[in-house]
Amino acid sequence: MIKPLGIEIKKRTENEIVFDMIGYDVSFANAIRRILLAEVPTMAIEKVELYNNTTVMHDEFLGHRLGLIPIKVDPNFFDFLYAEDEQETEKNTVRFGLYVTNPLTSKENMMIYSRELKWKPIGDQKTTFELEPIKPVDDDILIAKLAPSQKIEADLVVRKGTGKDHAKYSPVSGCFYRHLTTFHLNSEYTLDLNEIEKLKTCFPKGHFRFMGDIIPETGEQVLEPIIVVNDRLDNSSDLTFESCPSLKKKIIINTSDDILTFTVESIGIIESSELVLRGIDLLRTKCNRFQKIVSKYKKM
């Protein structure tokens, strides 16, 4: 018997999406996870042309820090550059400049942040990205600290790549799934006042409302001793009943075999929900390619 399949989105923001996969096998979820980690392409700083670096930071360390700065641009506008001797064009390369100096007359150190990276458009890039200029995802990523008279002069070359090439190309900061864990109060028992007070400290926040709490949606006070407002547990290992062992039999914890809750946290280059769709598209492409190969041999 085929189980019914379903998707339920539980949380969705620009940089995070949480959804339940109902009836799907773990292998399918893991395939999506691996693709999101290693095969959805992004743009990242691949090469640093360093002309002058008088800071205390070694050239290699500075280049490594620059390479890990995420660049906000849709990789679908660009092609992969497969060979180093291939010509740079507006379709395969983005360039930034970093030219900063702390004057000799300065009496303080100068903090250099990612906002100092200046985009240098190639070809028609300025027109293409007029509404959303290419820049780092965040402006306040610390790159280096310059003492008086110190300087950095460098050009940065941004290329398209995937997490299989280097972790800096991975579009996610967190990508994981787990079996859904929920809880409910055992109706065979009643919580006494001492146990209710213990729940405020031994149970993760946000799952209960207690008498006297204000309900945000209505502005009214809770009149019951305790009510459950969120029965989903992010991590059951966070629970500790050592201070009140009697709660163990009064709170029932269940782990579902058929529901996986999937979390994707984007680093900000591509919106979280769009990342999932691109990952599924890549998986579909892989399956179609495999099907064609198998069909070819079947006809022989």
For 250-271, the pLDDT digits (tens) are: 888 888 889 999 999 999 999 9
For 100-129, the pLDDT digits (tens) are: 999 999 999 999 999 999 999 999 999 999
CATH number of 1-40+171-181+257-293: 3.30.1360.10
Average pLDDT for 263-281: 96
Q: 113: helix, coil or strand?
A: strand
Residue 150 identity (one-letter amino acid) = Q
CATH 2.170.120.12 fits 42-169, yes or no: yes
Q: Structural domain boundaries of the chain?
A: 1-40+171-181+257-293, 42-169, 190-249
Name the nearest CA neighbour of 43 among 104, 129, 113, 131: 129
- Model-level pTM greater than 0.75? yes
Say if residues 170 and 75 touch (Cβ distance below 8 Å): no
Say if residues 107 and 119 touch (Cβ distance below 8 Å): no
Q: Give the CA count within 13 Å in the CB-facing half-sphere of 243.
A: 12
pLDDT of residue 240: 62
Higher per-residue pLDDT: 59 or 229:
59
Average pLDDT of the chain is 90
Say if residues 77 and 89 touch (Cβ distance below 8 Å): no
pLDDT at 283 over 90: yes
